[in-house]
Structure 1
């Protein structure tokens, strides 16, 4: 019960805090283990008793259960490494009347001259919220902002006044949290959204609208293809009627070729970067070589005088009059560009069904139902992933059949509910928009999607004979020697019980590139996350 009072629990992923208990919690047919992460999803009333819908994940399987508010125990909030905006931390991640310690990141925002933090600041921040009271005056149609520490006396006169005389503004989030039984509802726009695009330009203050229902809808997250960092990002509805043609994809490693490989058609690529194989059994690539990607398999190479089995990518090299089977190491760092033979035009739904995202396209036929199709002006788009978000279906009170879909969490708009009845008359197809989102909103959308995380490719193991050299510290190695590999022998520290020392190979690169890192335990490779050098 204390958790539900102190922490926001709501319908979004931000409203799903995670806690753990310092002791086992035994339920009727389920036991929550000590220290196991419990996700709080929602608060509901079951048979007259308030309960919290919870979930735990075990062996990649999700298990759902409920806990009564009377459940006792010492609960601690779990740490996470997600990125949050300041608004999200204040609204969802700071318990009421509490402070919050956070780590600052400038990944999503470049400070201007007004940066309040010291130069190269890399510490933690204590966030102490300063609250503001939002009030309304009788018969006024706007919102008054009052500082909570204003030194005035306040008298509660609630019982003496009719609350219905006052404006009661609701945000889109507030409306979405209403139960499904309360829809449809009539509302008056108090503060409208900014934007010239329909229906935003129609939602001006004083406009009466009908909010028909709430639901989850799918979108395709897409980004403009361009060489600089000023990419534009879009959320494309499945109802988009434009047509697309395929654009070539670029691949940095042989591992990426394996991920993009499809059973429906053979992947045809041209090498844009040379690669000198460290093993005679594997193929050395020259710029301009063309390949048909076949499949991943294993192959034998001679490494330090001994046979070793490694993962390779089998391809067919396209020669002038023949095909030659070659093997590329999976860790190969190179460059490839796709050769497109398909001239067909696709609907968005066909692309998502037939091909694996991410996928490169260009609009070949614009959506004629849109007054200004912003996607048609893009030189190329990368369809990145399918997302799901919360939407409200609205229409003008004067024309309930002309309905629009509006996003809940990206639309700064407030309304007041009116005590008017409305019949459900939506019959025509729902009108949707291609929504352009900011860089910050783009990362906020991406961070919650369950992406298929693939391990990084293995670094090359060149069969070189190492002479006996004195051991050096990393500080004693000149940075000007990079790129090079350094071997760190860490004695007999053996967490995996292999009864062998550990050789750690770190491959350094200039210019701040992300490079793979791997260590060997008793001859077996264990890949860790990419490091930033």
Structure 2
């Protein structure tokens, strides 16, 4: 800090430069609020010195993350500012109050009560730029001679344009008649600008330096007669030459400052960098030792151990920057809370595919369109046949193979028919049955419970799953990554690979543990660092071998942001035909050939082996049980005669299973379905 003068006042040490002492005495001293109102963001950064500040023996500089006082002599480098609110001062009472920048009220310009002696003065001396405020209405309080025509006192003129040395004006007569006239700029008189009809928002006023210099009044409020002077209030960001942390302070602090940027360039300041700015540095800038100036935000998107270590003044090694291929994974929702993971493509563990669960024909259609071969399904809950709606009857244990999707004609009401999209499926019979396979149509709005039938029992690497299958995909981690001390993915019965992404990352480690690295996604963490002069903890020719954490736990905020970024313009699920829901609630029960079993009536396949996701679409019907209709059984002759159909609540969600069922009840149904599925998979593998 050569060229700086250190001044001791009351036990505190201030630093200033000799040339700045002259600047402090110049006429460039302005209140901070006034200086910021005229500062252009394109001129940043700027170096300011406090000329008239406050001083406390035990000064508290920071409260709730914001600076609340500065002392005389402090040197501040302003690196950015953000408009937060607007200060309003009543011209007559000098009362001040603040309004948020998103205030929805409108304002009108209050013209200055000052006369213009010539038309040239009115054109050139108006505070607001003339071209941006035309037309301008004004009055003349003296007679004006325009050649053979003389305008009397109180004449109202509207300035339309300026052409060479004259103004094209519209003159309004007493009978509201109007005519155009050309008034020379040299015309003398006593002219006053009238209030215009144009209204402005706070954002519009603050965006225009010309408008900010005007006075305004509210419209359509109880305070519409108050004349106000509006001033912007900024949240300012900067650094000081004697402090490392990033400063945040309001422009409304009552201090006077002077701009010493041009005369005090030798002052050294800490240069805070965001992670995005670090990632934009050239490759030659790495590796480098940095110090954390500001840690991550209080509600981060990551939930990992190394994130808690990124505290203020922590020293890190940024080894290199890169763009990493990563996968978003989530545990299938169960009684426990869900967990979410960002997994690197280099993850060394292996996975097996898990059968997916579907709660509607639309979900099946979305899944079948992402694979080339036919999707095979196992029905896990009885579906009632509704002939007038074209809904087929399905029984637990039946197998379907999706053939395609096409338009079909279904009844809609008593006489009308409606063309809807439906899945074309083929019923798969047992090998020893002689009946031919028959087709069944599932309208896309049909609700049901299905599980995917898989004949694949192979183990896959994560990058192979991405290459061979289309995401999302349900998997189970069957072998851990040997590079991880504790692999968090092993132990989950089912994981869903939500999708893939390319994340700009920085490979980092703690200074005292350079071999234990982690990848910081620069777009997901908000923190600032600065480069230091610390030496790297290894010789120039002995770069350590890094062990990288390939699995990072993230929060639901990360998952929401991920889905928001990858959201496509996919069409929503179709609605049922009009009138179908009311018909379902009023239709009389059909005769049944057997009595449903109360013991297994409301059981569903909710075992650890098959966790079904929530349905994408549920119709809302009355809270009433639907009648059951028997039909022939094909692949499950030994199943109970009939299970009760789905029961919906008025909010459109399934009623929870009755608490009177015991664990043995569920185990019998689960074992039954699992046995059928194992038999299907063995037959498929043999074929």
| TM superposition score category, shorter chain reference | 0.5 to 0.7
**TM-score under structure 1 normalisation?**
0.55
- The yes-or-no answer on 1:334 pairing with 2:448 is yes
Report the equivalent of 1:20. Answer: none
Cα pair distance change 1:236/1:210, threshold 3 Å: closer
Contact 2:424/2:440 (CA < 8 Å) preserved in 1? yes
* Residue from 341, 348, 363 that aligns with 1:256: 363
Q: Residues of 2 paired with 1:395 and 1:481: CA distance?
A: 56
Inter-CA distance 452–231: structure 2 relative to 1 (3 Å threshold): farther
In 2 relative to 1, CA 427–333 (structure 1 residues): closer, same or farther, beyond 3 Å?
same
Match of 1:385 in 2: 499
1:197 match? 305
Alignment of 1:207-286 (within 5 A): 207=315, 209-210=317-318, 212-213=320-321, 215-227=322-334, 230-261=337-368, 262-264=371-373, 266-279=375-388, 283-286=392-395
Change (3 A) 1:265 1:421: farther
CA shift, 1:272, in A, is: 2.2
Structure-to-structure mapping, 1:66-77, within 5 angstroms: none
Give secondary structure in 2 for the equivalent of 1:272. coil
2:405 to 296, 321, 324: 296
User: What is the distance in 1 between the residues matched to 2:329 and 2:204?
Assistant: 35
Task: Name the counterpart of 1:441.
Answer: 558
Equivalent residue number for residue 188 of structure 1: 290
- 1:183 touches 1:211 (CA, 8 Å); kept in 2? no
Residue-by-residue CA offset, 1:432-459 (whole Å, 9 max, x unaligned): 5322222223212221114361331341
Q: Could you report, residue by residue, the CA deviation over 1:359-399 in whole angstroms, capped at 9, with x for unpaired residues?
A: 11221112121122222243322111222332224467799
Structure 1 spans left out of the alignment, 5+ residues:
7-72, 74-93, 100-127, 467-479, 485-507, 515-533
Deviations 1:275-312 (A, max 9, x none): 32335976322344332222223445566557765433
Q: Does the C-alpha gap of structure 1 residues 290 and 151 become closer, same or farther in structure 2, counting only changes over 3 Å?
A: same
Output aligned runs, 1:493-532, within 5 Å. Answer: 510-511=650-651
Q: CA deviation at 1:250?
A: 1.6
Partner residue, 1:174: 277
Q: Which residue of 1 aligns with 2:595?
A: none
Give the Cα separation in 1 of the matches to 2:285 and 2:476.
39
Paired residue secondary structure (1:374): coil
The question of whether the paired residues in 2 share the 8 Å contact of 1:210 and 1:400 is answered with no
Distance 1:258 1:325 in 2: 19
Judging changes above 3 Å, is the alpha-carbon distance between structure 1 residues 367 and 307 closer, same or farther for their aligned structure 2 residues?
same
With the length of structure 2 as denominator, give the TM-score of the two structures. Answer: 0.44
Distance 1:96 1:273 in 2: 65
State whether residues 345 and 463 of structure 2, in contact with CA within 8 Å, keep that contact through their aligned partners in structure 1.
Answer: yes
The structure 1 residue matched to 2:548, chosen from 425, 431, 451, is 431
Structure 2 counterpart of 1:372: 486
| Residue 152 of structure 1 pairs with residue 269 of structure 2 | no
Distance 2:240 2:581 in 1: 81
1:469-509: CA deviation from partner (whole Å, max 9, x where unpaired): xxxxxxxxxxx98489xxxxxxxxxxxxxxxxxxxxxxx98
The residue matched to 2:574 in structure 1 has which SS? coil
**Aligned 8 A contact 2:292 2:528 in 1:** yes
Looking at structure 2, the residues matched to 151 and 248 of structure 1 have their Cα atoms a distance apart, in angstroms, of 67
Q: Give structure 2 stretches of 5+ with no counterpart.
A: 1-39, 43-131, 133-202, 209-230, 297-302, 584-619, 625-647, 655-687
1-structure distance, mates of 2:521, 2:649: 43
Deviations 1:140-176 (A, max 9, x none): 3334443332211223344555656322221213323
CA deviations 1:207-248 (Å, max 9, x no partner) are: 2524533x4433212222123593222221111111122222
Q: Which moved more, 1:445-454 or 1:272-281?
A: 272-281
